[in-house]
Amino acid sequence: MDILEQVQPYMDWIILAGIGLVAGWITGQILGGGGLFRNLFIGIIGALVGGALVKMGFLPLPPAITDITNTIPYGTEIFVATIGAMLIVLVARILIR
């Protein structure tokens, strides 16, 4: 059995983790804080929140990007996840104070 066949069912989760890690790292660089697991957690939650905001229309993307498909295109996934992660960090900081 080929390694790609074994990994294929988990590919969406692997991609989400990669995008989450990059988005969490960018958020850590902008807002401070960090650590591998914190960046990964914040980035994945941020990706889910950012994607939900785009789908609900609260975070509009340019029509030229979204007219092709009704999904978040590959070029903007890290951008959307970073915005979601930044919102999560800012809301958490407000609630903690």
For the chain, the domains span 3-96
Element (H, E) at 33: none
**Global pTM exceeds 0.75:** yes
pLDDT given at position 19: 86
Query: Which of 45, 42, 72, 69 lies closest to 59, judged by CA?
Result: 72
Model confidence over 46-75: pLDDT tens digits?
888 888 888 888 888 777 666 665 566 666
Contact 53/59 with Cβ under 8 angstroms? Answer: yes
**Structure letter (DSSP) for residue 2:** -
With a cut of 90, say whether residue 17 has pLDDT above it.
no
